[in-house]
Chains A and B, each alone.
Chain A
Amino acid sequence: MSDEPEEHEGAPEGVQAKARMTVVIAALVTRLDGTVEDLGVIDSGEPDTSSQPAAPEE
């Protein structure tokens, strides 16, 4: 999937046809000896547009 919002045919220029949701997961691991490991972002999903309604037909 592209990072850019999709535009559908027939929509006014610049109008985004689909909303998007982006999931970001970060983690901090604490070891038995007390050491804390900041893993930062361990996964970041692409913008999720797959469940949005299809563009209306012309």
Chain B
Amino acid sequence: MASLVLSKGDDVAAGRMKGATPTQLEPLNISWGSGAGTTAKTDVAAFAEGPETPVVGTSSLQTTVTANDTYQVTGTIVASAPRTVTNVVLKDAATLAASTTLSAAITTTGQTSITVVSATGFPGSGNYCIQIESEVLQVTAGQGTTTWTVTRGFNGSAAATHLISTVVTGGNNPGSTAVTAGSVFVKGDFTGISLNTGESIAFTVKVAYN
């Protein structure tokens, strides 16, 4: 298990310090996921985010060591169906990032053409990142179609094989905002929490700067 400020999260934090130009919205939206994996700095998305809509959290400054050295966000998500929640993220938008699944397995770590069930919600042009399990890939061609040319092991992640039907989630690497609702500040994974429909988790996420 791990809980980290992602590499994109450093971008988000610096962007908040810079202020108005470019505009970096506060990453106070909480979203969860149900995929397996250990959080890495290189991640760009939750492990199988959603499907519940992220909630706008309540942010505050707290004290861990010295006054106001900690950024805290609290918020509650209610399960719309039975599921086991395994990870949570803070992001700068209260909507889900684009998501689909693999329509064919990725059988080697060098494979640069992949196929997905749907391209809906993903950028129709330009390079953008996707996360498949713990690997981040960059889509460089085929945008708007279901066959994508990709750069493997992007953003410092490790290339790996992936089974058919594995979840594919869009996300932004540092310097990019190509994927709508795809900028993750903090991500943490934990032992799965099983929920029935209507049950909820109230999260408190703290980032201590000290």
Contact = CB atoms under 8 A, between A and B. Distances in A.
Contact of A27 (B10, B64, B203, B208): B203
Contact of A23 (B4, B10, B202): B4
Interface in B26-79: 39, 41, 64, 76
B191 A42 contact: yes
B179 to A, nearest CB: 20
A20 B195 CA distance: 34
A46 B208 CA distance: 11
B190 A48 contact: no
Contacts of B199: 29-32
Interface of A: 19-32, 39, 42-46, 48, 50-51
A39 B186 CA distance: 20
Contacts of A22: 64, 207-208, 210
Given A21-B5, A24-B3, A29 B190 contact: no
Contacts of A31: 196, 199
B88 A25 contact: yes
Contacts of B4: 23, 45, 48
Contacts of B64: 22
B193 interface: yes
